[in-house]
């Protein structure tokens, strides 16, 4: 949703509990045919190096002081410690850091939950996936992005873990009184909000940015660990970069942006809950090689289904505030999926299809079964036909790490 600024609102519930849940894609020149015999070993290495699961500890525990530095610096914190390259940051939304984050607006409870989880996937629909680039639809864009048909790629889908969840929980609770104070009437308590230029609104925005920066750093550390796994399995020297970043993009975020509404340019607060940015060619914050193309749009499938890399269009900025879906969306609740699907059988089915699966929980695996989601091909076709984003490449999973 969007609200005018000043006089608009910001809503923690409309941003979501997993602040800056996002997707990162890394591409390689390793051909699937030559790597196929190593995929089981690779899946095991990724599962070991990239912790996953409910409440699972991360690979890089922090002190409270270090956590606060991550909140302010995002991916820059990771770069300063050798976990990122300059190209990684250039190919990350907002260069991996939102200005204006203020960890003093974050509760001690959130900090305690977050300090031990950096460098972890979590559970739910989060995953790390090895894919083969199955088909190229836009050769020029694919070449610039480093996508080669028949080669391996990696997707990382995760966010701000318990840190962001606690921030949302805290502010949804506190804003129950805020809406009363400002005379705001809502039908759903989860949509509580505050005027964006109010002290409460500014406090949440600063806390949300802290969680967003934590999430950027989290995916960056996981990317580092994924590269480490590829080096362990394929025996390359540490100095050779096997996985080059394509892009990292967020969903579950509120952004202050300028858009044209009914012919007039306006500054608005765009809430992208379950949506991702999809700006067209010429967007200044893209790296130079991407500006003529438009912003990469990453739409992952659901463990066993295809995923897509697309490009935002100029027309989309008038259609949907420069936004796209970030996935297919559920057709079955998690409880319903667990009632209907057995995780162990699903794992066997996926492995018969040539997908190596590593999961800490069979019930968690069942929750994220492909049949619990809409048909990704239909969703992507709708996005393409509506001119929201253009198809670049289709990816097929060959190894999946789940919590």
Q: List, by residue number, the catalytic residues.
A: 326
CB 306 within 8 A of CB 376: yes
Beta-ladder partners of 158 = 22
CB 215 within 8 A of CB 21: yes
CB 226 within 8 A of CB 50: yes
Distance CA 23, CA 312 (A): 15
CA distances from 281 to 101, 221, 248, 287 (A): 28, 29, 17, 11
| Token pair of 57 as six digits | 């500890």
Distance CA 273, CA 282 (A): 25
Which residue bears the tokens 């051909």?
Answer: 31
Alpha helices in 74-198 (DSSP H): 75-80, 86-90, 108-114, 139-145, 161-181
Helix, strand, coil shares, percent, the chain, to 5: 40, 25, 35
What H or E segment, with its residue span, contains residue 334?
helix 334-340
Q: What secondary structure letter does DSSP report for 371?
A: G
CB-side exposure of 190: number of CA atoms within 13 Å?
Answer: 6
Q: Are β-strands 244-261 and 264-277 bridged in parallel, bridged antiparallel, or unpaired?
A: antiparallel
Q: Are β-strands 21-31 and 244-261 bridged in parallel, bridged antiparallel, or unpaired?
A: antiparallel
234 class by beta-carbon count within 10 Å (0-12 exposed, 13-18 middle, 19+ buried): middle
| Token pair of 321 as six digits | 């505030």
Helix (H, G, I), strand (E, B) or coil at 61: coil
Distance CA 355, CA 39 (A): 9
| Nearest CA among 74, 95, 92, 225 for reference residue 163 | 74
Distance CA 21, CA 160 (A): 7
Say how far residue 35 (Cα) sits from the centre of its chain. Answer: 26
């Amino acid at each position: 949703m969007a609200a005018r600024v000043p006089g608009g609102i910001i809503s923690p519930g409309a941003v979501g509990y997993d602040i800056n849940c996002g997707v990162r894609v890394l591409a390689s020149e390793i051909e699937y045919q030559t790597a196929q015999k190593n995929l089981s070993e690779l899946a095991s290495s990724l599962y070991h190096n990239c912790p996953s699961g409910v409440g699972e500890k991360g690979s890089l525990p922090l002190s409270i002081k270090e956590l606060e530095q991550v909140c302010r610096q995002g991916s820059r914190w990771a770069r300063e410690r050798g976990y990122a390259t300059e190209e990684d940051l250039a190919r990350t939304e907002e260069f991996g850091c939102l200005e204006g984050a203020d960890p003093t607006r974050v509760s001690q409870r959130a900090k305690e939950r977050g300090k031990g989880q950096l460098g972890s996937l979590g559970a739910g629909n989060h995953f790390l996936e090895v894919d083969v680039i199955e088909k190229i639809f836009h050769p020029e864009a694919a070449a610039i992005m480093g996508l080669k048909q028949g080669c391996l790629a990696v997707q990382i889908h995760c966010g701000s873990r318990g840190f962001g969840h606690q921030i949302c929980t805290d502010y949804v609770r506190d804003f129950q009184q805020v809406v009363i104070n400002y005379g705001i009437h809502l039908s759903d308590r989860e949509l509580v909000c505050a005027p964006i230029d109010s002290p409460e609104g500014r406090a949440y925005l600063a806390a949300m940015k802290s969680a967003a920066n934590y999430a950027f750093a989290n995916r960056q550390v996981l990317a580092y660990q994924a590269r480490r796994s590829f080096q362990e399995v394929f025996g390359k020297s540490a100095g050779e970069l096997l996985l080059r970043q394509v892009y990292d993009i967020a969903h579950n975020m509120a952004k202050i942006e300028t858009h044209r509404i009914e012919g007039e340019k306006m500054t608005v607060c765009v809430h992208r809950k379950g949506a991702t940015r999809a700006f067209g060619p010429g967007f200044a914050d893209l790296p130079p090689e991407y500006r003529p193309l438009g912003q990469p749009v990453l739409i992952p499938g659901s463990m066993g289904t295809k995923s897509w890399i697309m490009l935002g269009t100029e027309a989309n900025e008038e259609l949907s505030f420069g936004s796209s879906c970030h996935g297919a969306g559920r057709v079955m609740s998690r409880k319903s999926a667990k009632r209907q699907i057995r995780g162990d059988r699903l794992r066997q089915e996926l492995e018969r299809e040539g997908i190596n699966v590593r999961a800490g929980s069979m019930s968690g695996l069942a929750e994220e079964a492909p049949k619990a989601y809409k048909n990704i091909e239909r969703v992507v076709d709708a996005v393409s036909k509506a001119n929201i984003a253009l198809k670049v490449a289709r990816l097929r999973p060959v190894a999946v790490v789940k919590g």
